[in-house]
Amino acid sequence: MIEQVFFDEDADCLVAAVRARKGAGKLRCGICARRCGRYDRGEGLRRWRTLDLGVMKAFLEAEAPRVNCPEHGPTVVQVPWARHGAGHTRTRVFDDQVAWLVTHTSKSAVTELDAWLSWARRCRIPSFVDLYYKIVAHRDTIINTLKYGLSNGLIESTNTKLRLITRMAYGFKSTDNLIALCLLDMGGYCPPLPGRQAA
């Protein structure tokens, strides 16, 4: 779970510090995934490059101890967000995180959002402060989305297509032609075109 998010001024990047959940189970070998005992701290805290936020570099930071694998000897532990030896996270990590937030509705998502907000309010990074105000203005609707998982994506997509058709119809003489084109494109009806067999 993400423990805290902070801005590393020296490295000019955003860092999400992650630690394992309590009772997350035994450590596994980074190569073969076999359950192994802990060997040592390894090189301590490690960072994995992850999806950048705009122009800002972002990293995930966590302990990376070594385990004592009977086959591979002392090996850096397996982590869920990166392949063994990779300096960057899997691309799906952030998708997964968003999906997790949406499906694990709940208090914890709301709590995490509020924790992020209280961080963002005091973080002094202008773009995050802007984002803070935008999110606060829409907080209730964002929480509704987290709770119910409903999306207005389909309506937005339909609206965009209709707007595009309207632009294409600027040369039309009458609105009937525009309406006919909208119905043809979005109405789900597929009449046979001249000279072609009906579908």
Report the interface residues with Zn ion, using CB under 5 A: 29, 31-32, 69, 71-72
Q: Which is nearer to Zn ion, 57 or 84 (CB)?
A: 84
CA 79/CA 11 separation, integer angstroms: 23
Minimum distance, C-beta of residue 25 to Zn ion, in the bound complex (Å): 16
The pair of structure tokens assigned to 125 is 């990074």
Instruction: Compare residues 13 and 31 and give the one whose CB is closer to Zn ion.
Output: 31
In whole angstroms, the minimum distance from the beta carbon of 81 to Zn ion comes to: 19
Of 65, 42, 47, 41, the closest CA to residue 8 belongs to 47
| Element housing 184 (H / E) | helix 175-186
Whether 98 and 109 have beta carbons less than 8 Å apart is answered as no
The whole-angstrom separation of Cα 181 and Cα 8 is: 54
Q: Which is nearer to Zn ion, 16 or 27 (CB)?
A: 27
User: Shortest Cβ distance from residue 34 to Zn ion (Å)?
Assistant: 5
Cβ atoms of 15 and 6 closer than 8 Å: yes
Least Å from the CB of residue 27 to Zn ion? 11
Nearer to Zn ion among residue 40 and residue 71 (C-beta): 71
- Residue 50 main-chain phi, psi, to 5 deg: -135, -175
Assigned token pair, 17: 């510090």
Closer to Zn ion by CB, 72 or 139: give it.
Answer: 72
The nearer residue to Zn ion, 43 or 71, going by C-beta atoms, is 71
Q: What DSSP line would sit under 146-178, residue for residue?
A: HHH----HHHHHHHHHHHHHHHHGGG-SSHHHH
